[in-house]
Copies of this chain bind each other. A is one copy, B any other.
Amino acid sequence: MSKNLTSRSVDYSKWYNELVVKADLAENSAVRGCMVIKPYGFAIWEKMQAELDRMFKETGHQNAYFPLFVPRSLFEAEEKNAEGFAKECAIVTHYRLQNDPDNAGKLRVDPEAKLEEELVIRPTSEAIIWNTYKGWIQSYRDLPILINQWANVVRWEMRTRLFLRTAEFLWQEGHTAHATKEEAMQEAELMNNVYAEFAEKFMAMPVIKGIKTESERFAGAEETFCIEALMQDGKALQAGTSHFLGQNFAKAFDVKFMNKEGKQDYVWATSWGVSTRLMGALIMTHSDDKGLVLPPNLAPYHVVIVPIYKSDEQLDEINAAAEDLMIELKANNISVKYDNRTTHRPGAKFAQYELQGVPLRVAIGPKDLENGTFELARRDTLTKEIIEKDKIISKISDLLTEMQDALFQRAVEFRETHTTEVDTFDEFKKVLEEKTGFISAHWDGTAETEDKIKELTKATIRCIPIYESEKAGECVYSGNPSKRRVLFAKAY
């Protein structure tokens, strides 16, 4: 556990990989591209899930569950969606193993147990869900349908990284059905706003709300809303997307309804999702060379208490003081872990909790018992102070709020200093290479220019920001007229 991490300035990517493993968040499994999410990492994901689930329910959504498998004939029904995912699907072709006649004790696929139609493991569930909605919708009275599911999906990625890009990942996918285009469009934007609120309030991660260019849209969408965040290494990360799907899936699966005027029309759709990728975003927004830094709102526990003792009697006394403190903390909705393992020294424990990003550490030693104090250490600033016993609860409570705000503010400042307006392509390239971050530049609105810039610089248009006034100018690459600036960056 205790070996130091590679420093971020030396190799950011290596630092990230080491941190994920050493902080006990996740590790690679025996299955190519698939990860094991370890209990500490999963506890953070559970906190995220709980908040998102609450927000979905508050906006009128219900959870449901649809099959893991998509029969090939359904998968291919919506052409663009199928095309977008066909090259990275895991495919079930057989349903039985048998003893290998050539290899005692080994199994092989039973050639006689071949499926008539192959099953695609869902890379996303529009196809299976819209095929189901067909049976649920006859009239406008059956609309809207506002459903979410928490599920695993599989995309056979060739280059994978823990949390950021894995063959199997966990996510939620909302799939809604509406009677009108306007309502569907509003829903898609609403859910993008929910994601933004979650990212900022809970992850303490500032995001830009925007829409994707046509070439960056979800396969099968007519409009993709997104939230884009900036990581510490100056690369952008798409943290969530919400799609207005038009009537594409309704047409592919023949889902019509009788509208209020008594006429048949195709149903309007949205889908929206965030995934365990958010864990990667969380790590790369706040953490440092000592390890994970967690915003208190998502920390599995806010406080860890570590006893410092030389004798068993001392430990007994400290145990009693710790018990009292824990009762008070819990009564104030502050979650706490007491680590009085006798198999590890305090130094090792300090290092572990720094690595794991526990927001606050309370150390209790014999001197503290004498003086009626605690030593309180703050993970984000790595500062310590001595606090009197009767002030500890209010201090901890205040600090948790302060840290949540401070982490957000620090990330906002980082993003502000790493967002650069540029007006020439030379400057564009220079900023991208030297300063990194978001580049705000004029773009002529064509896919050709977008592709060319990507080819030359590896930067993509992350989004066309919403809520920014449109000011015309000239495209940074082509010099052609541009309606407004868009955000470019290299991205995860």
Q: Is the CB of B119 within 8 A of A343?
A: no
Which residues of chain B have C-beta atoms less than 8 A from A63's C-beta?
39, 42-43, 46
> Could you say which of A90-98, A178-186, A203-211 contacts chain B?
A90-98
Is A82 located at the chain interface by the 8 A CB criterion? yes
Interface residues of A in 63-122 (CB under 8 A from B): 63-72, 74-76, 79, 82, 86-98, 105-109, 118-121
What is the CA–CA distance of A128 and B31 in the complex, to the nearest angstrom?
A: 9
The complex is assembled from copies of this chain, and their number is 2
Q: Is the CB of B29 within 8 A of A132?
A: yes
Query: Given A66-B29, A68-B154, A68-B168, do A109 and B128 touch, yes or no (CB 8 Å)?
Result: no
Contact indicator per residue, chain A 436-473, by CB within 8 Å of chain B (1) or not (0): 00000000000000000000000000000000000000
Least Cβ–Cβ distance between A429 and chain B, in angstroms: 36
With both beta carbons as reference points, the residue of chain B lying nearest to A29 in the complex is identified as: B67
Q: Is the CB of B91 within 8 A of A94?
A: yes
Least Cβ–Cβ distance between A454 and chain B, in angstroms: 24
What is the CA–CA distance of A467 and B30 in the complex, to the nearest angstrom?
A: 42
A sample of 9 inter-chain contacts (CB < 8 A) reads A31-B70, A34-B69, A42-B63, A68-B152, A68-B154, A86-B98, A90-B95, A90-B119, A92-B92
Is A156 located at the chain interface by the 8 A CB criterion? yes
Which residues of chain B have C-beta atoms less than 8 A from A76's C-beta?
97, 105-107
Q: Is the CB of B34 within 8 A of A67?
A: yes
With both beta carbons as reference points, the residue of chain B lying nearest to A35 in the complex is identified as: B67
Which residues of chain B have C-beta atoms less than 8 A from A82's C-beta?
97, 107
With both beta carbons as reference points, the residue of chain B lying nearest to A156 in the complex is identified as: B95
Q: Is the CB of B107 within 8 A of A86?
A: yes
Is A283 located at the chain interface by the 8 A CB criterion? no
Which residues of chain B have C-beta atoms less than 8 A from A68's C-beta?
34, 121, 152, 154, 168
With both beta carbons as reference points, the residue of chain B lying nearest to A41 in the complex is identified as: B64
With both beta carbons as reference points, the residue of chain B lying nearest to A89 in the complex is identified as: B97
What is the CA–CA distance of A132 and B28 in the complex, to the nearest angstrom?
A: 9
Contact indicator per residue, chain A 200-226, by CB within 8 Å of chain B (1) or not (0): 000000000000000000000000000
Least Cβ–Cβ distance between A296 and chain B, in angstroms: 20
What is the CA–CA distance of A94 and B87 in the complex, to the nearest angstrom?
A: 11
Least Cβ–Cβ distance between A372 and chain B, in angstroms: 33
Which residues of chain B have C-beta atoms less than 8 A from A334's C-beta?
none
What is the CA–CA distance of A58 and B68 in the complex, to the nearest angstrom?
A: 31
What is the CA–CA distance of A27 and B128 in the complex, to the nearest angstrom?
A: 13
With both beta carbons as reference points, the residue of chain B lying nearest to A120 in the complex is identified as: B97
